[in-house]
């Protein structure tokens, strides 16, 4: 289990946001509550708030992700921070400079936060252990391990539509084994007290220890989707099929793709979610992705408010009583 104290300061406040694992319900609820106030700011004519004025935030994306990087950039800008995104492919690290040397050089330029996305599991934790005391780290996705802000925008979306987590049945479908999003969702949902959490997928894509994570495992869509309130489909990594974990995209869609017929097994008011990017006709049918039950585009919109909330928390600030919007 990830050590909780790495994410928290001596007063128990969030210093880094590396994983949903090990954080309390109070911490996660505070993120959701702050995100509500920032969501209201987004509806105003002037969307910037002065909370992080004078702070410098650096995006370190060792993995490409235009949508996630752009959302973090917008979130920091709306908090009035100075933002710098570094193209790692052309940075000094590709010319032999070590990661720690690069971090220390950036710290010397008085940076306050690193937003890190990396292909290696544990990379964000490694960086958090080595940054200066005044620097915070947010994990924007590391290997197969965690993607905590994606999980929290998913929690925000669920709470907005469904309210009390304790009354909900949630199903996560697809490649559970390789999904950092699924891991973060599972920890967050259980911490927030979800009524029942199910994972659905082929045996080759569900980790052997999944049952220890507080989920019910299903290999049959009809059983797994019965009477659920929230359906989360995961992006299928196509390289898994080349690795013989799946026979073909067509067969996966036939058995585990979310279609209107399969969705009808859930509650009539069930919502459909997907962390993106969507492989239409592989993990979800276009008719479902574009249906009234789909909240996929809402998830993208909510990512801005949630990331604003996390940034304000880890840098030790609170939203103003009126959400701090500048006139």
pTM check: above 0.75: yes
**Percentage of residues in the chain having pLDDT higher than 70:** 89
Task: Report whether the peptide linkage leading into residue 277 is cis, meaning its omega lies within 30 degrees of zero.
Answer: yes
Structural tokens at position 78: 């709306």
- Evaluate if residue 96 carries a pLDDT over 60: no
pLDDT score recorded for residue 97: 60
Cα–Cα distance for residue pair 93/171, rounded to 1 Å: 41
CB atoms within 10 A of CB 308: 29
Residue-level pLDDT at 317: 44
Q: Is the dihedral of CA 42, 52, 189, 273 positive or negative?
A: positive
For residue 125, what pLDDT band results from cuts at 50, 70 and 90?
Answer: very high
Tell me the pLDDT of the chain averaged across its residues: 89
- Report pLDDT for 211: 85
Neighbouring CB atoms inside 10 A of 87's CB total 10
Q: Which domains does the chain have, with CATH numbers?
A: 4-147+303-314 (3.40.50.1370), 148-300 (3.40.50.1370)
Q: Could you tell me which residues come within 8 angstroms of residue 36 by beta carbon, excluding any fewer than 6 positions away? A: 305
If you average pLDDT over residues 202-210, what whole number do you get? 89
| Confidence (pLDDT) at 307 | 97
The arithmetic mean of pLDDT across residues 156-180, rounded, is 96
Burial 255-285 (b: 16+ CB within 10 A, else e): bbbbeeebbebbbeebbbbbbbebbeebbbb
């Amino acid at each position: 289990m990830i050590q909780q104290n790495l994410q928290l300061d001596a007063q128990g406040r969030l210093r880094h946001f590396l994983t949903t694992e090990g954080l309390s319900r109070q911490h996660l609820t505070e993120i959701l509550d702050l995100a509500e106030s920032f969501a209201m700011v987004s509806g105003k004519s002037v969307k910037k708030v002065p909370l992080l004025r004078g702070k410098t935030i650096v995006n370190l994306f060792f993995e490409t992700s235009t949508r996630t990087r752009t959302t973090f950039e917008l979130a920091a800008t709306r908090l009035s921070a100075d933002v710098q995104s570094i193209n790692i492919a052309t940075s000094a690290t590709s010319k032999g400079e070590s990661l720690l040397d690069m971090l220390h050089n950036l710290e010397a330029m008085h940076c306050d936060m690193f937003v890190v996305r990396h292909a290696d599991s544990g990379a964000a934790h490694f960086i958090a252990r080595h940054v200066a005391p005044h620097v915070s780290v947010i994990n924007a996705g590391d290997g197969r391990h965690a993607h905590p802000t994606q999980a929290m925008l998913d929690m925000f979306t669920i709470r907005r539509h469904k309210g009390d987590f304790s009354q909900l049945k949630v199903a996560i479908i697809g490649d559970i084994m390789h999904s950092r999003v699924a891991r973060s969702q599972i920890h967050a949902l259980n911490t927030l007290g979800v009524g029942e959490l199910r994972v659905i997928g082929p045996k080759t894509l569900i980790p052997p220890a999944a049952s220890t994570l507080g989920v019910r495992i299903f290999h049959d869509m009809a059983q797994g989707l019965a009477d659920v309130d929230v359906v989360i489909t995961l992006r299928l990594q196509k390289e898994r099929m080349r690795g013989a974990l799946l026979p073909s995209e067509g067969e996966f869609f036939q058995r585990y793709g979310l279609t209107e017929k399969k969705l009808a097994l859930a509650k009539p008011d069930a919502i459909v979610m997907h962390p993106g990017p969507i492989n239409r006709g592989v993990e979800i049918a276009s008719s479902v992705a574009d249906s009234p039950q789909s909240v996929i585009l809402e998830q993208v919109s909510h990512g801005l408010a949630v990331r604003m909330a996390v940034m304000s928390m880890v840098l030790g600030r609170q939203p103003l009583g009126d959400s701090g919007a500048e006139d």
